[in-house]
Amino acid sequence: MKIALSIAWLAVAVAAAAPRPMTFLDVLELRSVQGGGLSQDGQSFVYAIDELDWKEGKRFTDLYVAETGGGPARRMTFTKGKNERDPRFAMDGRSFAFLSDREGPNQLYLMSAGGGEAQRVSADLKGGARSAVRSYAFSRDGRWLAYLAGTPESAQIYLRDLAAGAVRALTSHETGIDAFAWAPDSSKLYFTAPDTLPATARKRIELKFDVRHTDAPQPQVHLWQTPLEGGAPNQITSGEAYSVQSFQVSRDGAWITFLGRSTSRYAQGPDGVYEQEAYLVEASTGRVERLTDNRTSESLPAVSPDGRWVALTAAEDFQPFRRARAWVRATSGGEWKMLPGGWDYDVGDLAWSKDSRSLHFVAGVGLNRNLYAIDWPSGEVRSLTSHTGVVAASYHHETGAYLLAAEAPDKPREYFLARAADLGAPARWNRLSAANPQMDEFALGAYEAFQWKASDGERVEGVLVKPAGYEPGKRYPLIVQIHGGPAGAYVNGFPATYSTYVHVFAGNGYLVFQPNYRGSTNYGERFRMQIAGDYFRQGFDDIMTGVDELVRRGLADPDKLGMMGWSAGGHWSNWTLTHTDRFKAISSGAGAVNWISMYGQTDMQSTREFYFKGKPWENWDHYVEVSPLKYIRNAKTPTLIHVGADDLRVPRPQSEELYMALKKLGVPTEFLVYPDMGHGITEPRYQYVKMASEFGWFEKWLRGKETWLDWDAILATVPQ
């Protein structure tokens, strides 16, 4: 009898430990790592983890410290309902600073790396008032901690002597300060500030004269320099040719780079970014050189550690919407060199190596995103990581190590540390964080690369996620998820968002297909550009031939097809709705239906001009031809519509046009509007409703369930 009871107990324990499907709650309660920094000696790492507080309906962050030599991370703060953010080690590594709202407006704190109570180091202003600290930075010599505090109109830079503990105001600038940075020799700071004070504008709003003036004139912002000891601030840039947006001081202190935005109230480049150009300042003389002269966007230029070269990312040949390239030239002048020449993928997040001979960057290639390097004299590209998943990286100049943020289809993002020799071997990366140990509880879908041939012979790829417990030879209901962008791509990352929640579908017996249709990134410029001027036809063919192939291979049930998408994914969902009745249910989020009205409603016209070859009055018939509303009489598929009430990118009227048309045509439809939300949904309760309603919509129309939106079940499930 004892043996029988023991066996029975073991069976119960094994059953209890069996992985279970993820739920909507599981998706929302996943924690994310963010804002990390290494100590100067590379021995310690401080970072933040956010956690959802259902009562407040917000995410709050606390800080952790990990020793890079190994061992579990230590939680350093425990402030319920408050945030600690932007942690950085002091130069000696014995303490770290951070911002927190634990005492009201954000203040600056120091904490020993060994733990203990945090000490507030930002000083009260006259009368005991506490003004929010906006940013901070340690001087490189380790003597000073500078911070920016005050309202946007009054913010000033304050200095704390780390040895003596005394705080003093360094600036008293008339118009307030926007941002600042240290000179590497710790003798001075640079800052940006507007030329005039917008006090009248704020006063009229406070007095309820809050009429909105679209594209109202803005004061110019310029760059200044102020010494730590003696002497008045010195203005470096001036005039009405540009307004300084962001700036960076080179590691040797000899150069400053900045992006200058056009002063025109109506200026907007063809790529949707307000017109800006790159500039270079010689710190010793204050001489300003304009580096670029085009109507496309550039990254903030970065000067090489040896001070000889300057690099930035911009579109190929500086032509809008071309593939992103690295551009290099001498700081002393000369022609730009575009890199890499024959490499077909976009270059992003550019950074110099310590020896100034190579440029590191992150790029998406197919279904993965990894770290690469360009030997810039030769233009040769080499892969530094080969991770099946998504990698972001930063180089730590002091130690030569790489800080990596990596995720995979079955693992949310975590931090890792790797030496250069180990970058290509993820098994040798030193894991620093463990934000979601509960992942072992879940039954996850299996990711695989899925390729097929479109009707024009082009090879197309996407992500296929098979159900948990997949049985070969069995057909499954299929959910087709269409990515936004449209110049985006699905990759081998962890789907920890309300917009995809792939593993919830997989855990409930669905097959999920994420096609990287024509127009997607990560497959070269020609592939991405093919939908320019022919927006829907080829992408729709790619999607549908992919579905056909899944049916042909016996994976997808042709009688149980569903589609969902947000933004550009919503556009494609609306096009699908009006061009085929093969799908049994569609969920369309923030999708356009009428491109002519959309042109005037949206906050971004330039992308429409690119994809539709001109403005509506220049290409009227084409705008009509690619509008799903023209074909709305063909719609038969039950459609659930979502939109944020305050969406500026794809405004609510687009969804209203679709909803009204479907109602008048008698097509089953429902319409959910999320209050106070923009182009994305940020309120956790709304995110839950979006997932639950959408999943329920597919359950109703693909599997015959009676109810698609069960408010009682939602209210009973979500913590109160």
- What is the rounded average pLDDT of the residues 695-715? 96
The pLDDT of residue 128 is 54
Q: Rounded distance, CA 161 to CA 147, Å?
A: 12
Q: pLDDT tens across 634-666, in order?
A: 999 999 999 999 999 999 999 999 999 999 999
Share of the chain above pLDDT 90, in %: 78
Question: 270 by DSSP, 3-state: which?
Answer: coil
Tell me what the pLDDT averaged over the chain comes to: 92
The pLDDT of residue 14 is 39
Q: Rounded distance, CA 492 to CA 387, Å?
A: 10
End-to-end CA distance of the chain: 45
Question: 581 by DSSP, 3-state: which?
Answer: coil
Q: pLDDT tens across 327-337, in order?
A: 999 999 999 99
- What is the rounded average pLDDT of the residues 371-386? 91
Rounded (10°) angle between helices 537-552 and 568-577: 70
Buried b (16+ CB within 10 A) or exposed e, 24-39: bbbbbebbbbbbbbbb
The pLDDT of residue 129 is 59
The pLDDT of residue 274 is 59
Question: What would the 3-class secondary structure string for 138-155 be?
Answer: ECCCCCEEEEEECCCCCC
| Cβ atoms 597, 544 nearer than 8 A | no
- What is the rounded average pLDDT of the residues 128-132? 72
The pLDDT of residue 13 is 40
pTM of this prediction?
A: 0.92
Query: Which of the 8 DSSP states describes residue 240?
Result: S
Choice between 155 and 216, residue whose per-residue pLDDT is larger: 155
Q: pLDDT tens across 446-482, in order?
A: 999 999 999 999 999 999 999 999 999 999 999 999 9
Q: How many CA atoms does the CB half-sphere of 223 hold within 13 Å?
A: 26
The pLDDT of residue 364 is 94
Per-residue confidence at 370, pLDDT binned at 50, 70, 90?
A: very high
| Cβ atoms 28, 57 nearer than 8 A | no
- What is the rounded average pLDDT of the residues 433-456? 96
The pLDDT of residue 484 is 93
Q: Is the pLDDT of residue 373 over 90?
A: yes
Helix (H) or strand (E) holding 511: strand 511-516
Sign of CA dihedral 439, 445, 451, 455: negative
Q: Is the pLDDT of residue 59 over 70?
A: yes
Q: Is the pLDDT of residue 60 over 60?
A: yes
The pLDDT of residue 240 is 87
Question: What would the 3-class secondary structure string for 300-316 be?
Answer: CCEECCCCCEEEEEEEH
Question: What would the 3-class secondary structure string for 345-394 be?
Answer: CCCEEEEECCCCCEEEEEEEECCEEEEEEEECCCCEEEECCCCCCEEEEE
Helix (H) or strand (E) holding 622: helix 620-625
- What is the rounded average pLDDT of the residues 408-424? 95
Kindly write down the DSSP assignment for every residue of 417-475, as one continuous string: EE-GGGTT-GGGSEE---S-GGGGGEEPPEEEEEEEE-TTS-EEEEEEEEPTT--TT--
The pLDDT of residue 604 is 86
∠48-52-57 over CA atoms, to 5°?
130
Per-residue confidence at 1, pLDDT binned at 50, 70, 90?
A: very low
Question: 599 by DSSP, 3-state: which?
Answer: helix
How many other CB atoms are found less than 10 A from the CB of residue 604?
Answer: 15
Q: pLDDT tens across 298-316, in order?
A: 999 999 999 999 999 998 8
Q: Rounded distance, CA 75 to CA 111, Å?
A: 12
The pLDDT of residue 7 is 35
Weakest-pLDDT range from 73-87, 267-281, 551-565, 656-670? 267-281
Contacts 24+ apart (CB under 8 A), 366-370: 366/449, 366/461, 366/522, 366/523, 367/449, 367/461, 367/463, 367/489, 367/490, 367/491, 367/492, 367/516, 367/522, 368/491, 368/492, 369/491, 369/493, 369/522
Share of the chain above pLDDT 70, in %: 95
Per-residue confidence at 228, pLDDT binned at 50, 70, 90?
A: very high
Please name the amino acid found at residue 183. A
The pLDDT of residue 215 is 76
Q: Is the pLDDT of residue 5 over 50?
A: no
Per-residue confidence at 90, pLDDT binned at 50, 70, 90?
A: very high
Location of structure tokens 């096009």: 575
How many other CB atoms are found less than 10 A from the CB of residue 235?
Answer: 12
Choice between 15 and 700, residue whose per-residue pLDDT is larger: 700
How many other CB atoms are found less than 10 A from the CB of residue 226?
Answer: 18
Q: Is the pLDDT of residue 9 over 50?
A: no
| Cβ atoms 435, 49 nearer than 8 A | yes
Weakest-pLDDT range from 75-79, 213-217, 297-301, 706-710? 213-217
Per-residue confidence at 199, pLDDT binned at 50, 70, 90?
A: low
Indicate the domain borders of the chain: 32-120, 440-717
| Cβ atoms 476, 442 nearer than 8 A | no
Per-residue confidence at 8, pLDDT binned at 50, 70, 90?
A: very low
- What is the rounded average pLDDT of the residues 50-69? 94
The pLDDT of residue 10 is 35
The pLDDT of residue 214 is 78
Please name the amino acid found at residue 421. A
- What is the rounded average pLDDT of the residues 667-688? 97
Sign of CA dihedral 498, 499, 503, 506: positive
How many other CB atoms are found less than 10 A from the CB of residue 90?
Answer: 17
Q: Rounded distance, CA 333 to CA 335, Å?
A: 7
Buried b (16+ CB within 10 A) or exposed e, 399-428: bebbbbbbbbbeebbbbbbbeeebbbebee
Q: pLDDT tens across 246-296, in order?
A: 999 999 999 999 999 887 777 665 555 557 899 999 999 999 999 998 878
Please name the amino acid found at residue 702. L
The pLDDT of residue 528 is 93
Question: 16 by DSSP, 3-state: which?
Answer: helix
What is the architecture of the domain spanning 440-717?
Answer: 3-Layer(aba) Sandwich (3.40)
